[in-house]
């Protein structure tokens, strides 16, 4: 099969393979869009209310592309917090992406750095979750287009959603936008459950991370650090739990 794929290397077939991968990425990334749009709209409204201009709030989405940090940033700007304080808080809140991207970059070992660098910049909790649970594409030809498409869907939904939110204000009824708050959690569950069905130990890793995260929150840790601790210790349990899986 693999040599067959290599032989069909006319540029025509290669570009259609890229197109195929890209389309698959768009489809797989669609649930992220469903989850991002209501949050981005809410961010746009909130940032506008906290005194940011339309340009500033959209620029923040373009350059920062991190939901939780942007909500926090807009709030801190509104209360007149210092720039250094805001930047440090952002770094702490996003440190979990360091851990996630170590894993994602390990998955993308066969992909050249010129691709890995821009893909890294598009890493969020959601793009990571979807990409990491579709690891088989990393080994396929033109698989990079698959991941690029997932990130592009997420990025465009986020940027355009915040622009529209800043422009039009609350356009989704509160009851609906509140209900759509479950979308990303449901997506995480929808990604996790099939893996647990295949290998129950994966579910154990997730539960360990959940409980540790909850414990850290109970102990008064900020949610950013609690997720980091839960993820790292959960992942360390994988050293033992995933032992037999390795061929």
Binding to other proteins (CB under 8 A): which residues in 134-163?
Answer: none
Quote the least distance from Cβ 110 to other proteins, whole Å.
12
Locus of tokens 């290397």: 9
CB of 11 to other proteins, least distance (A): 28
Q: Nearest Cα to 44, choosing from 62, 22, 26? A: 62
Alpha helices by DSSP H, listed for 50-82, are 54-63, 67-78
200 lies in the site for other proteins, by CB under 8 A: no
* DSSP character string of 149-172: HHHHHHHHHHHHHHHHHHHH---S
Rounded least distance, CB 146 to other proteins, Å: 15
- 5 vs 207, beta carbon nearer other proteins: 207
The residue among 13 and 182 lying less far from other proteins, judged by its C-beta, is 182
> Does 219 interact with other proteins (rule: CB under 8 A)?
no
Smallest separation, CB 136 to other proteins (Å):
13
- How many whole angstroms separate alpha carbon 143 and alpha carbon 212? 34
Query: Which 89-108 positions form the footprint of other proteins (CB under 8 A)?
Result: 90-91, 94-106
Show Cβ contacts of residue 228 under 8 Å, excluding neighbours closer than 6 positions. Answer: 95, 96, 99
Q: Least distance to other proteins from the beta carbon of 157, Å?
A: 14
Among 22, 25, 31, 149, binds other proteins (CB under 8 A): 31
- For the chain, the distance separating the N- and C-terminal CA atoms, rounded to the nearest angstrom, is 21
Helices and strands (H, E) in the chain, number of each type: 13, 0
Closer of 140 and 231 to other proteins (Cβ):
231
Q: How far apart are CA 171 and CA 164, in angstroms?
A: 9
36 binds other proteins (CB under 8 A): no
Alpha-carbon gap, residue 39 to 94, rounded angstroms? 18
Task: Supply the minimum distance, in Å, between the C-beta of residue 191 and other proteins.
Answer: 6
- H or E stretch including 225? helix 223-241
For residues 117-136, which are near other proteins according to CB under 8 A?
Answer: 117, 119-121, 123, 125, 128-129, 132-133
* Interface with other proteins, residue 41, by CB under 8 A: no
Quick one: which segment of 13-21, 55-63, 147-155, 162-170 binds other proteins (CB under 8 A)?
55-63
């Amino acid at each position: 099969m693999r040599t067959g794929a290599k032989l069909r290397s006319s540029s025509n077939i290669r570009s259609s393979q890229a197109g195929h991968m890209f389309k698959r990425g768009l489809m797989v990334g669609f649930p992220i869009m469903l989850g991002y749009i209501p949050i981005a709209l809410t961010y746009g409204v909130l940032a506008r209310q906290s005194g940011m201009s339309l340009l500033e709030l959209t620029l923040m989405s373009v350059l920062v592309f991190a939901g939780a940090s942007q909500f926090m940033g807009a709030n801190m700007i509104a209360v007149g917090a210092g720039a250094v304080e805001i930047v440090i808080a952002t770094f702490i809140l996003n440190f979990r992406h360091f851990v996630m991207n170590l894993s994602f970059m390990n998955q993308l070992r066969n992909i050249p750095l010129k691709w890995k660098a821009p893909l890294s910049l598009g890493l969020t909790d959601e793009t990571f979750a979807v990409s990491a649970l579709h690891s088989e594409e990393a080994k396929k030809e033109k698989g990079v287009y698959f991941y690029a498409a997932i990130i592009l869907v997420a990025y465009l939904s986020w940027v355009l959603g915040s622009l529209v939110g800043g422009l039009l204000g609350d356009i989704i009824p509160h009851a609906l936008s509140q209900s759509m708050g479950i979308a990303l959690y449901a997506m995480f569950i929808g990604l996790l459950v099939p893996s647990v069905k295949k290998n129950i130990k994966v579910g154990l890793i997730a539960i360990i991370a959940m409980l540790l995260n909850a414990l850290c929150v109970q102990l008064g840790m900020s949610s950013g650090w609690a997720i980091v601790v839960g993820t790292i210790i959960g992942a360390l349990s994988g050293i033992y739990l995933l032992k037999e899986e390795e061929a």
